[in-house]
Structure 1
Amino acid sequence: MARNFGRPGSLLALGALALVVLGPLAVVSPLLALLALAALAGLASLLAHRRSAALATRCDKLSAEVDVLSKRLLRIEAASAAEPKGGTAPGADTAMLAAGVEEVTVEIGLLSGIVRDLAAVVATQDGEIARLKAEALAPLVAAGPVPRPAVPAPVSPIPVPTPAAARPVFPTPRPVPPPRRAPDAAALPGHVIEVPSTEEPAQADRERAREAALIAALIAAFDGGGLEVHLQPVVTLPQRKVASYEALARLRVEGEVLPPEAFLPVLERHGRTTDLDRRMLQQVATIARHLAGRGSEAAVAYGLSPLSLFEPGFLRGLARVVAAEPALAGRLVVALPQVSWRSLDAEQAGALAAMRGRIGFSLDRPADLRFDALSLAERGVTQVKVPADLLLRQASARRHLSDIAVEDLVAALGRAGIRLVATRVEQEADVPDLIDLDVPFAQGSVFAAPRAVRAEVLAAPPAPLPAPAAAAPPEEPEPPPQRRPFRDFLRRAG
């Protein structure tokens, strides 16, 4: 009400001001008073125009809102009219939709596994075909070109044009002349004859044969027991006390120990990464049992391959293994790359959620420092591993930084219950910088290099693990009273 009253009030005030000012001015200078009156009239018209435009805008906005409300009302009425009289349960449609989505997700997982197996089989067949080609060409390359006798060049006749009516529909292919041996350079003085060399194709064939032999050696070593487990400790800062371990896969081929960068691409090409993860998890569980048997509280972590998440039944099998051994709770940690945590589908997220509390989760191999701490904590992640270079060399990795300052990253993750671990610490000079950033844990060659686990530890039978704290067992019931004859009672009474 006050707002509507103030609009004409300003015009009245403007008119009163004009009368008070222009009255005496008209007596002194009529022309100047006329000009001032015209200016005031223009100002009044401008104010009136602005107010009318604002009112028109508000009317249009109110009209649009009324239109939206009417459409919503019509939709609600149509939905209520189309709804059956009997009605359905409140959660029936949601349950049916969830069941349908879960079924489609399982089908997609199965199809992805079949496609991946087919790709692995095709890649293996391509490697076998390349190897057979190399073996077939090896004797020919070693023997060299076969010399042929010199054949005089035939004299080509003068071409005679053929009438159009006599020309065949399909032209007759010209005969290919047989290969000729290069004439002796001495027979043609002053001319240099260039003979095509067979060294480059032979070198390429040898390289392909060598690559095929190396791939076969890697696969044979992987299948023949060449897989080894190395442990690297994770220490606290600044005390440098061992807090946990990380299990690293190594492959021994002909006496040489290869890092994952040398054999993991070959295993991925042949679809063997899931086998690698299964075997490594079995050995990691054995190591965790051994540490628990010795009274150690250290956990053992292992980084899974992203391809294993799409293997049908892999996560469910891991859940069954963990459920069968409740004493491993908190001693076995599974690490996934940042890309995998950001792209989990419904089935994978459900399988990981079923293992929460029985197994630890970690994030490693980050592409940047943009961590959603609350989302990771909801998924059960308790540890984030970041390379030391990404934390300390911000100038060269500016595009990888997050909106949170690196100095506040540890505190932001700690508020969500997530610990930060600096990995790949290769220089002693980086340790004080990490301590200044309040990084609680670190891992790298500065503290300890990865060491192979003894074979007797992996081959030993599982040691009995201390069971988790549980309620005290109930006391044994007292034996029922025995019935004795009445004569014994009289005998003791006498």
Structure 2
Amino acid sequence: MTPTSRRPAGGSSAGRVAFSLAALLGSGLCLVVAFLAAPALAVAAGLGLGAALVSGTVAVLALRRARRLAVQAETLSGELDALSQRLLALERRAAEAAPAVPAPVPAADPRLVEGLSEVTAEIGLLGGIVRELAVAVAAQDDELTRLKAAPPPRPAPPVPPPAAVAPPPPAILPRDGAVPRRFVPEPALPPLVPGAGRRAEAEARRDGDILDALDGGLEVHLQPVVSLPQRKVAFYEALARLRLGEERFVPAEFMPVLERHGRTTELDRLMLARVTAVSRHLAVRGSDAAVAYALSPHSLFEPGFLRAVGRLVELHPELAGRLILALPQRSWRTLDAEQAGALAALRERIGLALDRAIDLRLDPAALAARGVGHAKVGVELLLREAGRGAEDLVAAFARSGVRLVAEGVEREADVPDLIDLDLPLAQGSVFSPPRIVRPEVLSPPAAAEPEPAPPPGDDPAPARRPFRDFLRRAV
């Protein structure tokens, strides 16, 4: 074979070898890429599976909690049915015990009244628990609905194969060769409020003025509670005012200050002493009107405060039936055993009232069982609920013997609406604003010096009194 015939064969063999090497290199590169991308794909799949497991676990826990709350609701409903059956049995017993022929109504059986009060209190407590449980179950249902409607979590996108990362540039060192220190920013200071220091100083000065006024500037103002529609005075309410110089503080201004400094009980003691003097003055003048005073809630937790009130009535027997202590609605709802016992010991000698009502969720029978004779409710609250149960509440109070008082009547146009509601009592500036009690009424009576006897044989001339003496007889 000639040399010219061997060259094509050699050329084709070299081409096949080159093609084989290229194929081997391509396969190796694909294997390397697949090996590097496999962990990233595994991590992405794991994240998606974990998110699905977490959402499923949350849904299962929420469903179990909803079922547990539903079981509790059924249990409470059963207890409520049992209490309702007890109440119906008691009412049936009371109806059977009532005489068929109309006769004078005898005194109610104390055990029956106590049983009805306990059942009513338990029903009210269970009703509140059932309402709270219903709200919780509704919230759980909303959460389950939201979880079911939410779309499943999307899997994380696959991570592309890592590319070659360029090495970080070398750190630039200072010329002296020292390692550069890392910059740490200082914590930011709170922004300065312009005038904050002056405002705090003014508040401190005002607190000091109020405390100074409590020490020497306590005034007593009386505002009558009148009957409707006659507008005749039923009793008075004693209101505290603090005066320092020409400035006079009302309870909305000084009560928060006294609460911060823990001196509300001191105010109640000073006011009770002055209310005692006013009641005695009214008794001397021949008036049968009582005087009411609203205690601070903090005084109820003062050890021995209510027992001290009992001793005050023992020292002044003429106060029996002439003193009324009013407690806020929140205090009547949170009385402990000791406070309830102390009030039960006082109810035979003084009157009790409910004051500062925040809603109309009142139980007239339970209040009457505790000795409450009056309940004061804001006129805005009464008129707002007119037509939505206020008439039934007024009738329930009348049946229980508790007299309802509409306080804060400032407009003459509200008086006919209150009369339409058959409200027995009302209080407000429309009838009379609070009037200050003269200092000589609050001071103890001084011993009168005996007048010299007229000389015998001379007829004493009638003393002439100025017209101002007649005007000073008003309280």
Q: TM-score range by the shorter chain?
A: 0.5 to 0.7
Partner Cα separation in structure 2 for residue 375 and residue 231 of structure 1 = 30
* Matching residue of 2:223: 232
TM-score by length of 2: 0.54
1:422 maps to a residue whose letter is A
Residue 378 in 1 paired to residue 378 in 2? no
- Please, which of 407, 411, 417 is the counterpart of residue 391 of structure 2? 407
Partner Cα separation in structure 1 for residue 177 and residue 301 of structure 2 = 69
User: SS at the partner of 1:460?
Assistant: coil
Partner Cα separation in structure 1 for residue 359 and residue 238 of structure 2 = 24
- Please, which of 417, 429, 434 is the counterpart of residue 445 of structure 1? 429
User: SS at the partner of 1:363?
Assistant: strand
Partner Cα separation in structure 2 for residue 322 and residue 411 of structure 1 = 33
Identical amino acids, percent of aligned pairs: 61
Cα distance per residue 1:79-134 (max 9 Å; x no partner): xxxxxxxxxxxxxxxxxxxxxxxxxxxxxxxxxxxxxxxxxxxxxxxxxxxxxxxx
User: How big is the shift at 1:217?
Assistant: 1.2
* Matching residue of 1:294: 285
- Kept in 2: contact 1:247–1:300 (CA 8 A): yes
- Kept in 2: contact 1:290–1:462 (CA 8 A): no
Structure 2, unpaired ranges of 5+: 1-172, 448-475
* Matching residue of 2:86: none
* Matching residue of 1:220: 212
User: SS at the partner of 1:271?
Assistant: coil
* Matching residue of 1:454: 438
* Matching residue of 2:410: 426
User: SS at the partner of 1:370?
Assistant: coil
* Matching residue of 1:23: none
Partner Cα separation in structure 2 for residue 433 and residue 173 of structure 1 = 74
2:195 maps to a residue whose letter is Q
* Matching residue of 2:239: 248
1:341 maps to a residue whose letter is W
Matching of residues 326-405 of structure 1 within 5 Å:
326-394=317-385, 405=389
Residue 270 in 1 paired to residue 254 in 2? no
TM-score by length of 1: 0.52
User: How big is the shift at 1:422?
Assistant: 0.7
User: How big is the shift at 1:408?
Assistant: 2.3
Residue 325 in 1 paired to residue 316 in 2? yes
- Kept in 2: contact 1:329–1:358 (CA 8 A): yes
Partner Cα separation in structure 2 for residue 424 and residue 282 of structure 1 = 26
- Kept in 2: contact 1:235–1:243 (CA 8 A): yes
- Kept in 2: contact 1:237–1:441 (CA 8 A): yes
User: SS at the partner of 2:195?
Assistant: helix
2:438 maps to a residue whose letter is R
User: How big is the shift at 1:158?
Assistant: 4.1
User: How big is the shift at 1:462?
Assistant: 9.2
Partner Cα separation in structure 2 for residue 234 and residue 214 of structure 1 = 33
Cα distance per residue 1:253-274 (max 9 Å; x no partner): 2312111001110000000000
Structure 1, unpaired ranges of 5+: 1-156, 177-197, 464-494
* Matching residue of 1:279: 270
2:203 maps to a residue whose letter is E
How many matched pairs? Answer: 271
Matching of residues 49-198 of structure 1 within 5 Å:
158=174, 160-162=176-178
User: SS at the partner of 2:376?
Assistant: strand
User: How big is the shift at 1:323?
Assistant: 2.1
User: How big is the shift at 1:172?
Assistant: 12
Partner Cα separation in structure 2 for residue 221 and residue 383 of structure 1 = 31
Q: 1:437 to 1:162 in 2, by over 3 A?
A: same
Residue 303 in 1 paired to residue 301 in 2? no
User: SS at the partner of 1:413?
Assistant: helix
- Kept in 2: contact 1:323–1:358 (CA 8 A): no
User: SS at the partner of 1:248?
Assistant: strand
Q: 1:162 to 1:265 in 2, by over 3 A?
A: same
Partner Cα separation in structure 2 for residue 454 and residue 159 of structure 1 = 90
* Matching residue of 1:45: none
Q: Which has the higher mean CA deviation after the structures are superposed, 319-328 or 352-361?
A: 319-328
Partner Cα separation in structure 2 for residue 462 and residue 374 of structure 1 = 46
User: SS at the partner of 2:242?
Assistant: strand
Partner Cα separation in structure 2 for residue 359 and residue 461 of structure 1 = 24
User: SS at the partner of 1:425?
Assistant: coil
- Kept in 2: contact 1:289–1:462 (CA 8 A): no
- Kept in 2: contact 1:384–1:419 (CA 8 A): yes
Cα distance per residue 1:168-193 (max 9 Å; x no partner): xxx9999x9xxxxxxxxxxxxxxxxx
User: SS at the partner of 1:250?
Assistant: strand
User: How big is the shift at 1:162?
Assistant: 3.8
Partner Cα separation in structure 2 for residue 353 and residue 428 of structure 1 = 38
User: How big is the shift at 1:201?
Assistant: 5.9
Partner Cα separation in structure 1 for residue 329 and residue 213 of structure 2 = 30
Matching of residues 34-45 of structure 1 within 5 Å:
none
User: How big is the shift at 1:382?
Assistant: 0.5
2:212 maps to a residue whose letter is A
Q: 1:383 to 1:161 in 2, by over 3 A?
A: farther
User: SS at the partner of 1:318?
Assistant: helix
User: How big is the shift at 1:161?
Assistant: 4.6
User: SS at the partner of 1:438?
Assistant: coil
User: How big is the shift at 1:277?
Assistant: 0.4
1:362 maps to a residue whose letter is A
2:311 maps to a residue whose letter is R
Partner Cα separation in structure 2 for residue 378 and residue 408 of structure 1 = 19
User: How big is the shift at 1:320?
Assistant: 1.1
